[in-house]
Amino acid sequence: MQNIIFLQKIFYPDFLFIIILLSVFFKFNTYQFALRNIFLSVVLFCSILLYPINKIIYIHPNASLKERFCIFNQSIKRPSSKSSLLASLAMMAISSNKIVRLESGEYDSKNIFQFIYHIWSKKIYMRKITIPEGWSSFKICQTLYENQYMAGEIGEIPNDGTISPGTYLYARNINRNQIIQKMQNDFVKMTTEIWSQNEKKYWNNINDWIIFSSIVQKESKSNNEMHRIATIFRNRLDQKMKLDADSTAVYGITKGETHISRVIHDDIKHISPYNTYKFKGLPIGSICNPGKHALIASINPISSKELFFHHREENITVSEKFSDHIDSINRVQKK
C-alpha cells in the first residue's frame, strides 16, 4: 500500500470562523435573529452535505483512522478555501467507533452526504466487467490479468466450455481466481437449467452438447442465425458427414490464444483433434465459451434439410445441395 502521510495541519481559520459566528449569535440573540440564524445554519449544513465531490474514494485495507481522514480530505480537496472546513465537518460526522470497523474498498461519492451514507451502510462501490460470448478461456484470463483493480493469481487456465459469458460485478482487489470460480459456477447453473428444461432428442450427454454449442457460437455472426447453423451442423452429424467448421481448424492451431482473421488452405489441412476437416464427429473439447443463445439453439435444432451455408458480410446463405452452395459462393465472388 502506498504510504499515506496524515495531514498535520490544523484548520485554525475554519474554527476561528465558527467561534466568531457563535459569538455574534449569542450577542444578538433576539427571537427573530435567532430564527434567522437557525435557518441559515440549516442552509449551511445542507450545503455542506450536498457539496459536490463526484469521486470514488478508496479506503485502503488496514488503513488507520488518520490515514482515512487524510484520504477523504485529499479526495475532496478544492482550490476553494472552504475545502478544509468541509473535510473537517464531514469527518467529524463519521468519526465514531463505527469508522474503525469501516470495510476497506471504494465508495462512490457524488457529495458528502452520499459518502457518509455509504460508509454507514457499508455500501461498497462495485465495478463491472463484461465477458462476451465466444471468448476463449485464455482471453478471459488475460483480460482479468490486465485489470488493475483485481488481485491474485488464477492458476491453471480453465478448459473452454466451462465459463459463463456475461457481466459481473466485483469489488476492488477481488481475487481473480474468485471471479473465475463465480463464472464457472454460473456456467454450471445455466447449462444445468437449460438441459433440464429441454427435450434431449439429439444428445446423449451434456458435454457433447456444450462442445457442439461452442462450434455454433464461433460460426455464427449473430444470435438470429444460430438456430439455422445449429440445424446444418446437426444434419451433417446425422448424415455422418464431416462438420468442416473453420473455427475448429483455427482452434486446433491457436488453442484460443491468438486470432486468425482469414482461414487459408494450410489451416484446414493442419492435423489436430479439434480440426473437423480431418475427421467426422465432434472435436475432443469445446473451442470457446458459448453463451445462452448458442446453447439453446443447439439443444434442439429446428427441422430442415439444409447442409451448407456461407456468409456474405453479415448475411447468411444456406443450401441443401453442395452444387447450389458452390453456385452461391461463385455468384458472390463475381460481384
Exposed e or buried b per residue across 231-264, where buried means at least 16 C-beta atoms within 10 angstroms of its C-beta = bbbbbbbeeeeebebbbbbbbbbbbbeeeeeeee
**7 has a pLDDT exceeding 50:** no
Strands 150-151 and 166-170: unpaired
Give yes or no for a contact between 29 and 91, defined as CB atoms under 8 angstroms apart: no
pLDDT average, residue stretch 175-191: 97
Q: In angstroms, what CA-CA distances link 116 with 95, 282, 299?
A: 10, 57, 51
What is the reported pLDDT for 323? Answer: 78
pLDDT average, residue stretch 302-314: 84
What is the domain partition of the chain in residue ranges?
A: 15-121, 126-194, 200-334
What is the reported pLDDT for 262? Answer: 80
Q: Which three three-digit cell numbers place residue 56?
A: 470514488
Strands 315-319 and 308-312: antiparallel
Q: Of all residues in the chain, what percent carry a pLDDT higher than 70? A: 65
Report DSSP state, residue 169.
Answer: E
Burial class (CB in 10 A: 0-12, 13-18, 19+), 283: buried
State the pTM of this model: 0.75
pLDDT interval class at 120 (50, 70, 90): low
pLDDT interval class at 192 (50, 70, 90): very high
pLDDT average, residue stretch 115-129: 76
What is the reported pLDDT for 313? Answer: 73
What is the reported pLDDT for 241? Answer: 95
Query: What is the helix (H) or strand (E) element at residue 318, kind and residue range?
Result: strand 315-319
**77 has a pLDDT exceeding 60:** no
Minimum mean pLDDT among 132-146, 236-250, 269-283, 317-331: which range?
317-331
- Cβ-based neighbour number of residue 76 at 10 Å: 21
pLDDT interval class at 9 (50, 70, 90): very low
